[in-house]
Every structure is written in C-alpha cells, then in structure tokens.
Structure 1
Amino acid sequence: MNNAKFSLYRRALYASSVFVTAAAVAVPAFAQEQEAEVSVEDVIIVTGSRIASPVDVSTAPLQIVNDQAIKDSGATNIQELLLENPAFGTPALSRTNSAFLTSGTGVATVDLRDIGSDRTLVLVNGRRVVAGLPGSATVDLNVIPTQFLERVDVLTGGASSLYGSDAIAGVVNFVYKRNFEGIEANGQYGITERGDDRRYQANVTVGTNFADDRGNIMVHFGYSKEGGVLSRQRKNTYLDDASVGAFITGDMADWGTAIEPFLSSFPPQGRFIIPDDPNVEGNQGTTFTYDANGQLRPCFSTNGGTAPATCGAFAGQPIGPDGFNRQAFRTIAVPVQRYLFAAAGRYEFTEGTNFFFEGTFNRTESSRIIEPFALESGGTTGIFPGSGLMPIEHRVFDGQGNVSIVQNPLVPQAIFDAARDNDGDGLRDIGFARRLAEVGNRTGSTSRDFFRFVVGFDGTLFDDRFNWDVSYNFGKTVENQVSSGQVNVVNFRDGLSVMVDVDDVNGNGSTTDYVCTNAEARANGCVPVNIFGAGNISPEALAYIDAQGTFQTEITQQVVQANLSGELFNLPAGPVGIATGVEYRKEKSKEDNDALTNAGLNAGNKIPDTAGSFDVAEAYLEVRVPILADTPGFKLLDIGGSVRVADYSTVGTVYSYAGTATWKPVDDIRFRGTYSRAVRAPNIGELYSGLSQTFPSGINDPCDGVGPTGGGTVGDICRSQPGVNANIAANGVFTLNQADQQGISGFNGGNPDLEEEKADSWTLGAVITPRSLGLNNVSLSIDYYNINVKNVIAAPGRGFTLDQCFNKANPTYCDLVTRRPAATAVNSAGSIEFIDAINVNGASWKTEGLDVVLGYRTGLDAIGAGGTVSARVAYTHVFKNDYFPAAGEPADRQAGEIGTAKDRFTANLAYNAESGMRASLTGTYIGKSYEDDQFCFAYGYDAKCVGVSAEFYLDAQLGWNIGDNFELYFGVDNLLDNNAPRILTGTTFNVTGTDTAADVYDVFGRRYYTGVRLKF
C-alpha cells in the first residue's frame, strides 16, 4: 500500500472511531487533554465528535490513559487503574464488594461522576459492548484485554446525541492496538506483604502485515489470576465486630468504636425458645442452648431478660462462647481468573475500500464463600409459616379414625417439660434459631463466557471529501453459577416432624427407629433431622435437605450501523463539517434460577426468572460550523450541534441533542462549552424483572393507634381500608400484634410502563498552553460540569412509600400497600400484608463539580542529566451530588460522603533515563469523608455527624530496558502501607467481611509485583 492510500485508510478508520489517538508521549497515568489531538496529514479527529476536520480543538473534557500508563500501573484488571482517576466514583461491582451477592461476584464496573454505572457508556473501539450482568447495560471490565489496549479515552459529560442511550455521565472507550507488527510478551507475579492475594498474568500479542502491506492481522492471548483474600487471613478482620454507636449507645461519638467480638446469635448448637404461657399471667418463656460440653441448659427469659456473658443472643451484645464468628467464613476480595483472546485486522481489497474485523473472547471464573446458613423457625428466614413455631408433639392417624398424640423423640426432655403449660392442658410449640454448620458454607462458583465480534467495511467518497463505514457488531454473555449451602425448606420441615417407629411403618423390621411422621414424606425419602445440639444432623439427613442452587443467564446484543462524515463546503473560517449515520440495535436478556429459588423454598426469598428484549432504530446528525479564524481576538471561533432520534420498542421515540462552542482568543488559551440533553432508556431488568419477594424489617405501620375519628390525613387514609375499620370496631383503636409486625413482606419488580431518563448536562472550561511565555511543555485545563438527571428509575424505599401514602396522600404509593381485609388465624384485620417496591420514574439526581488537570514534561539536557521528566496532577472537586427520591422531597446529599469525597486527586511523576531506566510514582488522595446524612438523621444528628480522615496512597514502579528486546520491572502498590479506615458493621458504607468501605479504600495493604516484557 503506498503512502497516499495508507493515509486515506487511516483517515477513514479514524473518522469512524469515537476518539482521537493519543500522542506518543510517555506519561505515567492519564495523558494531558491537549494530547488527544493527532494530525493525520491535514486532518485531526476531535474527541467526542464523529467529524474529521482540520479544527484543532476538543470541545468536551477528555482524559486519556495511554499504553505507558497501563504498563506503569501493573494492573491486572483495567478497573484498578481507572479508579485512580478522580472523575470516577465508587464502582457498583468489584472484587472487594461482591462476595455477598448471589449474582455479579467478581464483576468489575466503572461509574463516572458517581451517579450509577448504568449511566456510563462503555465502548470498545467506538462501538457498544454487550452487558456482563443480566437485565442491565453494565459492561464487565473483566472482558477487556488490558495488555492489548493502545489507550483508554474518558469523555465526561452527556454524549447521547453522538453515541446513544446511557452516555449521561460520559463515555469510556477502550481502544485496541492497531496495525501492530512483531511480538510482545509479558509475564508478571504479585503478592501482598501479608502473603495473600497472589496475582499472576501472562500475555502475548502477535501482529503482522501481509499482501504487500495491504493488510494487517493481530492476535492477543492473555491469562490472569487474582487469588483473593479471606477475612480470617487478616488480623483486623478475623473477628466479627460492629459499631458501638450504631448498635448500643446511639451516640455517634461511638461510631468507630467496635463491639468485639460481635458474634452471631445463631450458634451451631442452636437456641430453642419456649414462648410465654398464654394461660398464666406473668409467666415468662425460657430459652435453652448447649454449653461448651454439650450439656443443655436454660439460658435466659425471653421477656425482657438480660443475657449473661455466656448466653446465646441479646440485642447487639457480645455473645461469648455460645455465639458464632461469621467473619471466619467471609471474604475481603473474591478470587478471579480470566482467559482472554482478542484479534483485529484489516485488508484493503480495492483502492480506498477496506474490510476490517474485531473479535474478543473472555472467560471469567470467580467464586464466593460466606458463613453457613442461619435458619430460624420464624422471621425472614423461617420455615414455619404463621406462628413461626415448631410442634414438639404430633397427631398420628391410624386410618380408622383414631388419633394419638406422639411426642417428638428428638426434643430433649428438659425442653419438652418446660414447654408444658402450667395448668397441664397442653404443650406450647417452640421456636429455634440455629446455624446449619453441618450443611456447610454457602458457596458459589461462577463462570462467564463473553463473545464479541465486529465485521465491516470503510472507505472514502467524492475525492476523499467524505469517509464512510458500515459494520455489524454481535455480542453474547453466558453465565453459569452453581451454589451450595441452602436447604430445601419443605424437606427440612418434614424432617423435623419425627416419631418412634413403634409400628414398623418403614417396613425394615425395626420398631425403634426414628421416622418422619408424614407417610407421604417417608415415601419420598424423608429422613429425621435432629437440630438439637451441634453436629447432630446426620449425613443422610443432610442429603435429604440439601438444595443445590443453579443460576444461568444469557445476554445478546446485535448492532448494525452506518456512518458518513466529511466536509460540506468551505467558509472563510474553514470547512463546514458534517457527520450522519443510522443504527439498529437489538438486545435480549434472560436469567433462569432453579425451581426451589423460584418458589422461595430454599430458605431464601422467592426469585422469579426474568426474560425480555427490546430493539431500537436510531439516526443522528452532527454539524460543526467555523465562524471566525485568524482574526484579532478570534484565533478560532466555532459552534457545533448534534441531534439523535431513537425509536424504541419499549418507550417509543426519544430525542437527544447537544450544542458546542469553542473560542480561542489567542494561541495560548481556548475556552469551550457544551450543553447536551442525554437519555437513558430503561434496561430489560428495570422493565421486565419478575416479582421477587422480600421480608423488610423495621417497618412501623402508620395506622397503629388510629381510632374511629381524628388522626388527620393518616387517619382518613387508614379508615378507607375495610380491614382497618374492622380492627378499630373490635379493639376501639387499630391494634397490632407481634405477628403483624413480623408478617410484612413485599415484592420487588420491574415496570413495563417506565419512561426514559433525561439529563441536562453542561460543561464550561478553558485549556491553557502558555507557549508565548516560554512554557512549551505545560498544559492546564479547568472544566466545570453540571448534570441534572430527571425521571430517574428507582424502586422507592418502603418507609418512603408509607410516608408518601399516609402523610402525603399520594395514590401512586398507596397502590403499593396491601392490607389484610379480615383477620386470619395469626394476623389482625387491616394489618399490612405487602409493601411492594416497583420501579418508577420518580427520582432525580443532580451533581456538579470542577476538574483541574495540570501536565508538564521536560528534558534534562540543560542540567546535564539527560532523559526526561513528566508530571501530571488531576484534581476533582464535587460541589454537590444530590439524590432526590421524589419530587418535592428532601435530598440525600452525597457529596462529601464516604465514596463521594468532595476532594480527590491523582498525581504522577515519571523519569525516563537515556540508559533505558524508567521510574514512576503515583499518588492518589481521597479527601475527608463522612457517614451518610440519612444515617445521621436517623440517630438524631445533623449531616456530617461522623466520618473518616483523608487517605493518601503512593504507588511506585522501576523498570530497566536490557537491550532492545527485554524489559525488567518491579513495582510496589500502597508503598506507605496505609490501613483502610475503620467503618464497622451497622454503618452505611461497611462492606460485609471487610470492616471498611472496601470498594473505596485499599484493603490489601502494601503489595509487590515484578515482571518481564519481551518485544521483537
């Protein structure tokens, strides 16, 4: 291919991409914004625009991670490096916050501006990527081959008019290497100073030209493994602990003071609760448990008694030897293993017309482990509906109309005797709470297979004035998960009802065996389950009650698109640029749980299967008009605009649009501004998720105590329900019993009537390059951003729903509350049965802040040292990040809270010696942060009642080039060995098993890595 032809090819290829190629300047992290512009002869591709133009300006704030930055980080997953950028918020999913999830373990996501991962659009080579989580648009960054990346482009601000739905906070585009020739190989090993979380990675990239350089093909193979860390492996997380302020005193001065140990009240030997005797006034029930020697003993009165030091449970107190240390089975970081294959190629089969393709395959394997299941007879994990009590004697029918009462032989005699009513007329059933240690840990093993390929053609038209491309993009994610540690509730319940086989009902010749009382259950293999004492559930019983879980998902995405861009005509200030295109996209998602999970019969909540699809046809137009150029006070002035129309099969037609302006009064400074209307269409999960049942706690019924008259709005709404009126008629005022308080459940689910989210986004900034002052190597950019998202899709909290219905008389929320029309055997008339939480377009989100990026690079020849030094600081200040649950409601003000620090920066310093040695330092600062303001309000405090100090992390790397083909490097992350701040159980931002906000702060401590790179 001759140089002219190759230049045309490059113009076409780059014009169809989203972003500009980064300059070949080795900067230790994010490249300066000015380096986002690269000339391809007389053409510059401007970031955030689809128009190829000679105008040398970027209208939207942009930061770029180049390949040197990726190498300097030593990152196994690109998420690790991106999260150092202060423009990114706390990720929805990562290795350190997904151990307790039934779906999403080990997934890695990003969240620009901290307004939700679904509002950040992730692209590969400028095109969409299939989601990694069913029902969502969230891309799993595990599928990105880190060492195959040429760069990562981070565009902040609304960009839906150019790239479609989801680009509300911005776009992250991962650009693969192109036109690579040769072989690059890399091997790396890392370990923490504590000797855990071993990390391995090995990668090789091979590329070659062919057909007289008319074509190029590249392939990349990668493998990585991150070992994970268990909570019991670290001294500070070995024991379960909790906040004294949250659980005991309510005094926020005690917020960071730990109750240690804070052991679980569900011990493996069990607690057995005999309720109060209803026939004897003042009679109190008794709780039994087993001591360390396996001896049964009474523990304490359930009616207001104070637990002794060795007792089994009492509201938040240390449990002592009878408690269970959950932390010994929990995880700080889950292990993740990845296999990656990527390929890309192009071929010029006629002059100016090219074929191209991309392909990626990824397999991610992860696993989770948490403590054995805590089962109780009643409550949210209970297996006895209604009263939540287990019978300790049974009625046995002989088939001839005769009924006999049989004592359960597994119930210890002391418990049986204590349960006998004082007047001798019967027995009280018992409740229990028990850790199912014999069943084993709850575990999950997950594999995700990701497939993606793109094929297309591109070229030029009309004497190279226009560039065009047409492509087809297919992606699929398949997940398979197997979990253990749950139990079949029906079988468990049958196994608890036991009698002595005095009549040889099992037909084995024995009349002394214990058997299940239910004949049908016996026919189905029922085995008695002995829950009294640790280790007493037999292997045969375990096999009978075992409930292995399965979860499969499949997500597919297909995109066909065509683009055309070029110059319409010339004005005195330059050519008028235009880009236009059409796109068709179809997405499907389905998730399939096992039958017991669907029915809620594995001691967990009912979770239905979900399936859905949508398609969308889109068209866009972008125009850029130069107004003035090379005139006094107007070295450059141009304006631009873009509009996109999208017709969804779900929400109908939606519109997004944007306007841009750039003014360059002199060479050294330019001002830029953008306005955009961005959209996010509801995803499949938000639309079509089935109703999954949950059992909320801490619900206070607003009707409690309401009489036949009065009570204002609350009273009127309460009395509009027949059941409430029946209750008032029977009791004088609306009265609830304990079962009513515990018997509230609800359903979470999708809403097919959702509308799209809409966002108004503004950016205003300046880029200063003071060359006229002799500072040729300095660049400073300052950008203000303001994003206002309306129609936010969210499921309202249940307390909020009750407030909106009964205090605000909002019928939308009243429709989510269902009351019992009449009394049942257990529950009172008018008591709340369900409070549903269905997705609605009821919330809004507002955020604004300031980004400042300063870069500097210089040679050291003037001082006789040789080599070059480069430095960069990226700083973000968040003025506000306010979430409004509904119109007119107070905001949840998140700016300054843990995970959304008001001040963050990353600073880099690198030195390249002429000898081939390279050294770099990266410092990351997270400003002082506070507990959630809603948490503080709940305890009677003002916002910012408590918080944690600022953190500064320092990373370092040193590398040596040995000859032309070999590089050896060594790095240390968290060089200062900072401990994560203590954020305990019971507080808002605690990640279970870590004693901190593990998705915000470093939980690994100092860690080392070393590796080699080969290049031929």
Structure 2
Amino acid sequence: MNFRTPAVRLGLLPAGIALALSPTFASAQEAAAGTTDLDRISVTGSRIRGANMETQQPILTMTRESLEKQGFSNVADVLNNLTSAGSPAISRSDSLSSGENVGGYYVDIRNLGAQRTLVLMNGKRLGATTAGYQDLSQIPMAAVERIEILKDGASSIYGSDAIAGVVNVITRKNFDGGEASVRVGQYGNGDGDEQQYSMLLGASSERGSLTLAAEYSKQDPVWAKDRWYSRDGGRGPNSVAGDGSPITQNGSWCNPLQVNCSDSKTAVWKTLNQGGNPNNPNDYHVLTEDEYVNSNEQMSLLTGVERKSLYINGTYDFTDRISLNTDVLYNERNTFQQIAGYPYQSGASNINTPMSADSVFNPTNVNGVGGQEIQFRRRLWEVPRTTDSQLKTLRFAPTVSGYFEVADKTFDWDVGALWNRNESIKTQRGDMSLIGSEQALGASFINAAGVAQCGTAANPIALGDCRPWNPLLPYGVAGQGSLADPDLQDLLFPTFTTRGVTKTTSFTANLSGSIVTLPAGDLGFAVGVEHRNEEGSYVPDAFAQSGKSTGLGQKPTQGEYDLNEVYLELNVPILADMAFAKELTLNVASRYSDYSNFGGTTNSKFGLTWRPMDELLVRGTYAEGFRAPTISDLYGGLSSSFERYTDPCAVGVSGSVAGNAACLAGGAPANYVQLGQGNVPCSTTPCQSGDQFVSGANPNLSPETSKSKTVGLVWSPRWVQGLDISLDWYRYEISDMIIEDSVDRILRDCYVLGNAGRCGSVTRAADGHISAITYGTANLGKMETEGYDLGIKYRLPELAIGQFSIDWQTSYLSKYDEANQNSAGDSIMIGKVGQDALFRVRSNLGVNWAMGDFGVNYTARYYSGLNEPCIEIGCTDPDRIAYGETAPLRKTGSNTFHDLQVSWKAPWDATIAVGANNVFDHKGPLMYSQQNSSFAYYGGFDIGRFLYMKYTQRF
C-alpha cells in the first residue's frame, strides 16, 4: 500500500478507544483526498512544494465530489458541520445580534473563536471585518474545487490568526466546457424556501484557460412564531428573546398621584380597559402577566439571505516555465433580520422622555386643566426593528509563478499580490427618534378642526413638523395619536444607514526547492517575504451616533496598520529505508512579523514524521502562534448594549454578598433584588439589563499568543485493502487573549474582592439597580483545550450489489478551561466541557452506496449532551458545588440528526439528486441559556426537516 497518498490518515486506533467512542460517528464531510500527483503542488500548512508534505500534519480535504453529496448549499454550512468545528459564530439564529459582523458566515475550528481560524482562498487571505471576522459567504459554492482544513497552529507559515487552524478554499480552474445547476428546497413546515442557480463556463488552450462561475442563491427567513420552541415566547417576565415582557404593545402607565412611580417595589402599572377611554384615569386596570407581550411573534428565527457572485479565473503560460494565474471575485450578500418593536420605557436613563403634564393624551390632564407628568411603557409593536445588511466584495489576486533548475535541482518561485475590498451598508428602521418622541409627548391640544396638534392653542406647531403621540392607546385600537398613523411613523422612525469599508492589500514573494541531497533524501526549503496593509472603517449613522434614538449607541471605528514579514521553512530527511525507520523527517519553520502598531513577534513550528513500517506513520507538531489585535480592538468606537449579568449585591443570587460594605457604599440596599427589563425583579440570573451599558476599544493591546501540540498515528493495514484508521491528540494554550472586561468581572472585583478601583465605572439608580457601566477590552483572557480526533475510512471491495464506502469522523473534547476568579479572589481555570455549546463528543458517520448511475449518501450527525446553569427551571443537579460555590445544573441528552441524498446520472449528461437534511425531523432539547441563539434552543441544531432537489446539466 502506498502510505503517502491519503491526505488525512490520522492514527492507530486501539480497540478499547474505538469501543469507548462507539456512540460517535464520522462522515464524508471530512473525507481525505485520494491518490494525487503532488509534483510541485502546494499543500496547506507548508510552503515547500513536495509529494509527502500532506502526511506531516492533520489535514482534511473535502473534494468537489464529496461536497456535491451533501445537503448544504454554502461553504460555511459545510465547514460548520465538521466534527472539529465549534459553534457557529453569530449564527442565523442570533436575531438579537447587532453590529458590523452580523449577516456573515464564519467558521470556528476547535471552539477557539472564528477570529482564531485563518481563512484562505487559493492560499491568500480572505477579506475580514474590522473585528477580524472572515465571511465565508464571499465564496460561491459553484467555484469551489476542494477545501483543505489544517487542524493545527500555523502562524509560522501564514502569520496572524492561524492559531486554531487554517481553512484553504481552492477554486476551480482549467475547466473546459459548461455546467448549469439549480437547487430548490424548503423546510417541512413550508417555510425557509431556498433557491440556488449557478453556471460554470470554461475554455482552455495549450497556453491558457479561462473559467467563469456565476451563482445566485436566496434563503427566505424563518419566523420564531412558526417553531415549537419559540412560538410561545419566553418562560417568564425576564427571559431574553421571547421575553413575556411587561412592556406591552398595549401601553401602561404609573399614576404619580397614587403611588411613588420611581420605586420599583411600590409602583403600579396600569393598562387601558378594552373599549375604555384613554383620557379617563378610571378606565385602566392593573397590568397582569396574562397581558405581557410575546415578542417572539415579531422575531425572525433565521435571518434571510440573498447572494450574487461572479468568479473568474484566468491562467496563461508565458513560457514553459513562467505562468500567470489570476483570480477575480465579485460577491454581493444581503441579509434581513427582524426583531420585535422596541420596549420603550420613558423613565429609562437613556430615554428620559415622560409624557408632558400638558399633553392632550395625559390621563391626569382632565378637560385640559393640566395634570402631572407621567412615566409610561410601550412596546413599539407597529414598527418592528428591521436590519438589511449588504456586503459587496471585490477581490483581485494575480500571481506570476515559475520554476528553474540549478545543478539538477528544481526551484519553484512565485510573486503575487492581493487587493480585497469589502463594503458594507446596513439599513435599519424601527428605533424611535428621541427628539421626535420628546416633541410628540410634549404639550398638545385639540385644534378647531378637532385634530390633536403639538404645542398650545396660542403657540401651535405645524402638523408637518410634529404630531402628538398617545402611547397609552393599545395596538390595533384606532384613535388620535395612534402609532399606526403613517404620518406619525414618518416623524418618529428615521431610517439609519451605517457604512463600513475594509481593505486588504498584500504583496508576497516565495521561493522553494531542494538545497542538497542528504542520505535520506532532499533537504527541502521555502523562504518568503510579505508586506500587508489592513485598513478599515465602520461609521454608524450620524443620528445613531448622537444617542438621540432608542437604538444601541455606537461610535465610528476607523484605523489601519501595516506589517512586513519574512519566513523560512526547512524539511530535513533524517532516516529512510531502514529497519523501524522507513522515514524519519523533521520540519522546522519560523516567521518574523513586524507590525506598525505594536512591534515585532517571532513564531516557530517543529514537526516530526516517523514511519516505522510502510503501513504505520507517527507524527507530531509543536507550534507557536499569535493573533494581532484588530482594527476594532484598537480603534473601535464606543458602543452600547443591554447586557446579561448577575449582580453580587442582590439577594438570592449565586455568590451573593448583599449588604456588605462595598455594596452599601455603592448604593445597593441590603435587601436589594436584581432588576431586569422594565425594572421588574429578575426571576433567573444572569438577567438582561433594561439600561444600556457602554463598551469600547483599547489602543494599547498586545497580541494574543498560543502554543499548540499534536501527536498523531496513521495506520493503513495491508491485509485490509481500502481501510485507513487515524487518531490525533491535540492541545492548545492561549494567553493574553483579547476579551471584553465583562460586567460580571467588574462587579466581582468591586463588590466581592473589594477592589475599590474597579467600582468607578458602576452607576446605580436610587432603587439600587445598575443604570450605567463602562468597560473595554484587555489582554485578560487565558484558555486551555485538549482533545482527540478519530477517523476511520473504509472503501469496501466492489460487490454485486454495488460499491460501498464508509467515513467515520469523531472529535472528542477532553478539556476546555478558561481563566476566571472564584469568590475568594483566587485565579482558577474553569472547565466548560459540556457547557456553552462545547460538546464532549461530535461525530459524523457517512455511508455511500453507488451502483451504475445510481447513488445514495447517508450521514448521521451526532452531538453529545449539554449542561446549562439553572436556578429554577428543570435543574437536574440543583445541589452541585463547583469551585467552592453553588452551581446548579440542568443536563440535556445527546442528539443525532440524519441526512439522506439519492442521486441519478441521466443519459443526457445530467445529475438529478433529491434529499433531506434531518430526514426524521429530530428536535433538540430546550436550552434556556440560549446557546449561540436568541432563543431557547442551540443555534447549531437543525430547526426542522429540510427537503431539497438539485439538477445539474453538463454540456
């Protein structure tokens, strides 16, 4: 057996380990490449062009053939279903997410974060946002030839961001002919319609080729009201997305003539009786939980996506030894998301727009005599908050390459450039202008025509400039001041436009070859230089920047940096064709990077390949890595958000220190109960704030650093033809991680640990709740993770009933620890395996059958169970103690989703395929912690059975 050819053979599998991991399965998604002529072909993870480099590191290759057998229509979905992939960053289920990165598709290898997985297209970086996210939706599926995934650190080869691994998408070229494809599908619920059309055309000659790929795809949104786990809203008055909010679309107010409305414990909120007179204070009743709004009725569960792509590849041979390869890509992506109308609270610190005592709609203003200013709450149900996100990508990547010979040695060289420009435009509507609402809630009167008008009879304001608003008029009830009035909506709801641009410019030069022939083989080398410039800006609408709206406040992000890099890689054969040493090879690489913003850093990597016999290979690597701070990390403007946190000064929460000196000095009474949205006591924690908290960037950040180790075995037993078994162990340690200095960390340092210097950014209202807090980013994080990858691939001998092949890939996460502090102030590493969507085991089993023109592909995707913190709801381990503190858990079971595709190759050179993802319509468990989702369900799970049909015509 030729041991060198399979691209992914990862280790000898003891039978005991196989039995221990028997619930986990692998799929063709992580199939290794077959036999390939690798003469002077680059392999991801090395700059040395050679026939054996792909065996030295854990690399997965997904071919065009394996991609077409899957039920996924874009690169991101394919990658996120790898067992080694972590939870999707900003998934389509994160409806409440906001900012520049929303709408993109990202991949996260090893759960180390999408920003720590480097994405390449034909060996060159993909354009990124100012926060360093690389959007895979830029790459049309029709243009993909194969995808190579290096599951190991590679900063010594590629520089920053290659901490967890590298994804290299190789596009199609030298194509001759034509191919057209159409794919349509929808969920079994009758929604989420998908359509995709693509065309591939190519022509080639003796000296060059031209390949063109065009693609259009559209996926309709899915609504929360149409799924079992989200249609009924939340679990109480303080859940996050379907929040059963006391801020209803029917409006409510607190009568200051009867109670103290500023005291959350005594305030009484009333809403209008059905058919009642909104101007009669006696026509209101106390708001009950039965009248709380289910905001999920207006929420999108999955965002809608539309993409248009055009990719062109051209090659030309100037001579037999000098060639030009050029990539041009244009992509336009539009995403749509909707969340419920804003929960307007007139007394919130960021709003502060009470209804004027002289408003004609004020219930205390009887017969225009004048009343008292009142506070009110109203969900702006008539105008849901919508965001249209458009991203335009233009990419040009020319490379001139060639080779020459000196003293019977062949040397390969290339000189290349990259210009990548991403332009984003976000259009948002649904947040109210506070300037407009202050006017609309101010003094008003009934004019001679019987129409409500702003101002006074003596000093009126023209209707074109202002219209009175009655927030106490329920949704769907007609009347003056109704928010359903289009003219009033035009005055109160502006359209916000946010623009962003990122540019990547790089120039590279590389040389590789063989220096000298040693007894065990050629000593290979690669050396190269790179200059790169990163530039980016993200500028929110001027109105949004002013803070004069109900939207989250944002400030512009703008900056740039450049860097120069040089690297050297050596591949040293030590032994060959000896007893117990058919091959022993050392690979060494080092890269020096000089950044204009923080200085220089050197990162190295060492790899060892040992083949004691022809059918067994042992390999290991040790790699240093780094991630440079992004433009957003360094130069990002201030932004605000409604954070979820646990207040240690509140009674009844885990780790409570209610009533201690620091809490009392900070303004939290001894009997304080944490308040959430609407200043209603939280029933569970962490609980979402009803006030906006402010966060920002840090220009003094230093790079993150990492160390990674892998050890792998690859076994291809000669007595079982077609069987490859592999096992890899990995370990990562990341230090100086750039993280937000979280609300929980600040509160713990201030109130639990007694660090008075950390209290200055915390502001509490008179009732004790935190009304404002400011925090930023810092190099405070640390992470350690460890695990195993198991792979079994077996192609059975061809039988009378057809050809069978099996792919079984499993990832086992044995450790995932993050740095934190316990209540005593001790620095500890907290284990998170099984929580926060960190599955202990992910496994895919793929079985493929082919006979003649027919084929069937079956895949089972397995996820082990998860845990989540809990206080009241379904706690399976309420008395659990972790790290010296009470930490009750709720445990959920494992889940398996099954996919099936049936295909037929028609005589007219076409392929017809029908299939279903989640063919048995399996439903995952409720996850109240809303992991990777804005709903009580894990954002990476299937949300129903998805049926599709695909037709491909070649000509």
| TM-score where L is the length of structure 1 | 0.81
1:217 paired to 2:200:
no
Partner of 1:273: 254
Q: How does 1:512-591 map to 2 (within 5 A)?
A: 514-516=453-455, 525-534=465-474, 535=477, 536-537=482-483, 538-591=485-538
Identity %: 25
Match of residue 221 from structure 2 = 228
Q: Partner amino acid for 1:635?
A: K
Deviation per residue, 1:308-349 (Å, 9 max, x gap): 9x8525xxxxx32x3322121111211111111111121111
Q: Distance in 2 between matches of 1:139 and 1:466?
A: 33
Distance, in Å, in 1 between the alignment partners of 2:636 and 2:264 is 49
Residue identity opposite 1:615 in structure 2:
D
Structure 2 Cα separation of the partners of residues 461 and 76 of structure 1: 42
Aligned-pair CA distance for 1:794 = 0.6
Q: How does 1:154-193 map to 2 (within 5 A)?
A: 154-193=149-188
Query: For residues 898 and 735 of structure 1, do their structure 2 counterparts lie closer, same or farther at Cα, with a shift above 3 Å needed?
Result: closer
| 3-state SS of 1:1013 partner | strand
Q: Residue 634 of structure 2 is aligned with which of 687, 712, 715?
A: 687
Residue 343 in structure 1 maps to residue 312 in structure 2: yes
1:531-930 matched pairs, under 5 angstroms: 531-534=471-474, 535=477, 536-537=482-483, 538-694=485-641, 700=647, 746-771=693-718, 774-808=719-753, 814=758, 817=761, 835-861=773-799, 864-865=800-801, 867-885=802-820, 889-913=827-851, 915-930=852-867
2:439 alignment counterpart: 494
Aligned to 1:5: none
Cα distance in structure 2, aligned partners of 1:541 and 1:1013? 52
Does the 8 A contact of 1:61 with 1:157 survive in 2? Answer: yes
Q: Secondary structure at the match of 1:931?
A: strand
In structure 2, distance between residues paired with 1:974 and 1:736:
44
Q: Which residue of 1 aligns with 2:232?
A: 239
Which residue does the alignment assign to 2:18?
none
What is the rounded CA distance, in whole Å, between the counterparts of 2:133 and 2:454 in structure 1?
51
CA-CA distance at 1:892 after TM superposition:
4.0
Structure 1 equivalent of residue 352 of structure 2? 383
CA offsets per residue over residues 686-741 of structure 1, 9 Å max, x none? 1111122456576758699xxxxxx99985x899xxxx69x99xx9x9999999x9
Residue 513 and residue 468 in structure 1: after superposition, are their counterparts in 2 closer, same or farther (change >3 A)? closer
1:78-97 aligned within 5 A: 78-97=75-94
Which structure is higher in helix share?
A: 1
Matched, 1:989 2:926: no
Is residue 84–residue 811 contact of structure 2 (8 Å, CA) maintained in 1? Answer: yes
Distance 2:264 2:732 in 1: 61
Task: Classify 1:701/1:466 alpha carbon distance in 2 versus 1 (closer, same or farther; 3 Å).
Answer: same
8 Å Cα contact 1:410-1:498 kept in structure 2: no
Shift of 1:641: 0.9
Find the structure with the greater CA-based Rg: 1
Q: 1:481 aligns with which of 405, 414, 426?
A: 426
Name the CA distance, whole Å, in 2 between partners of 1:855 and 1:901. Answer: 23
SS at match of 2:318: strand
Question: In structure 1, how many angstroms separate the alpha carbons of the residues matched to 2:507 and 2:181?
Answer: 35
Give 1:471's match in structure 2, choosing from 416, 423, 445: 416
Aligned to 2:389: 446
Over 3 Å counting, the alpha-carbon distance change for 1:368 and 1:123 in structure 2 is same
- 1:173 and 1:55 mapped to 2: Cα distance? 18
Question: CA 1:409/1:572 → structure 2, altered by over 3 Å: closer, same or farther?
Answer: same
Q: Which among 267, 271, 279 is matched to residue 289 of structure 1? A: 271
| One-letter identity of the residue aligned with 1:274 | N
Query: What amino acid is aligned across from residue 941 of structure 2 in structure 1?
Result: Y
Shift in CA distance, 893/205, structure 1 to aligned 2, threshold 3 Å: same
1:409 maps to which of 355, 360, 383: 360
**What does the per-residue CA deviation read over 1:597-647, in whole Å, with 9 as the maximum and x for residues that have no partner?**
101111123211111111111111111111100011111111111111101
Which amino acid is the alignment partner of residue 287 of structure 2?
G
- The equivalent residue for 1:312 is 287
Deviation of the 1:676 alpha carbon: 0.4
Does structure 1 retain, via aligned residues, the 8 Å contact 2:44–2:149?
no
Indicate whether 1:949 and 2:893 are aligned.
yes
Please state how far the C-alpha of 1:957 moved relative to its aligned partner.
Answer: 0.9
> Is the contact made by 1:842 and 1:885 (CA closer than 8 Å) also made in structure 2?
no
CA displacement, residues 728-781 of structure 1 (integer Å, 9 cap, x when unaligned): 9xx9x9999999x9998642001000000000000011000111xx21211011
Deviation at 1:56, TM superposition (A): 6.1
SS at match of 1:526: coil
Give the corresponding residue for 1:430.
374
Contact 2:259 2:268 in 1 (8 A): no
Work out the number of aligned pairs and report it: 898
Distance apart, 1:466 and its partner CA: 0.8
**Residue 1006 of structure 1: aligned partner:** 945
Cα–Cα, structure 1 residues 392 and 780, in superposed 2: closer, same or farther, change >3 Å? same
- Report the Cα offset of residue 970 of structure 1: 1.1
Letter in 2 for 1:204: M
1:991 is displaced (CA, Å) by 2.5
1:50-199 aligned within 5 A: 50-55=47-52, 58-98=55-95, 100-131=97-128, 133=129, 135-199=130-194
Higher relative contact order at CA 8 Å, sep ≥6: structure 1 or structure 2?
2
- Bigger drift between 666-675 and 288-297 goes to 288-297
Partner in structure 1 of residue 13 of structure 2: none
CA distance in 2, matches of 1:37, 1:647: 40
Q: Deviations over 1:169-223 (max 9, x none)?
A: 000111111322111221111122221111111111111113xx11111110111
- Structure 1 residues 736 and 202: CA distance shift in structure 2, 3 A: closer
- Please state how far the C-alpha of 1:49 moved relative to its aligned partner: 1.3
Tell me the amino acid that sits aligned with residue 61 of structure 1.
Answer: P
5+ residue gaps, structure 1, are 1-18, 248-258, 302-307, 314-318, 394-407, 421-425, 705-710, 821-825
Mapped to 1, the partners of 2:770 and 2:295 lie a distance apart of 33
Secondary structure of the equivalent of 2:842? strand
Contact 2:221 2:336 in 1 (8 A): no
Between stretches 750-759 and 86-95, larger displacement belongs to 86-95
TM-fit CA distance, 1:491: 1.7
Please point out which of 298, 322, 337 is paired with 1:329: 298
Match of 1:970 among 914, 918, 924: 914
The answer as to whether partners of 2:552 and 2:692 remain within 8 angstroms in 1 is no
Tell me the distance in 1 between the aligned counterparts of 2:915 and 2:397: 36
Cα distance in 1, alignment partners of residues 769 and 864 from structure 2:
47
In structure 2, C-alpha distance between the alignment counterparts of 1:161 and 1:293, rounded to whole Å: 72
Task: Report the CA distance shift for 1:907/1:816 in structure 2 as closer, same or farther (over 3 A).
Answer: farther
Q: CA deviation at 1:543?
A: 2.5
Q: What stretches of structure 2 of length at least 5 have no aligned partner?
A: 10-25, 652-656, 682-688, 882-886
CA distance in 2: counterparts of 1:152 and 1:946, whole angstroms: 38
Q: Give yes or no for contact 2:926–2:937 (8 Å, CA) kept in 1.
A: yes
Deviation for aligned residue 1:60: 1.5
Contact 1:383-1:603 within 8 A present in 2 as well: no
Shift in CA distance, 38/226, structure 1 to aligned 2, threshold 3 Å: same
Cα 1:832–1:87 change in 2 (3 A) is: closer
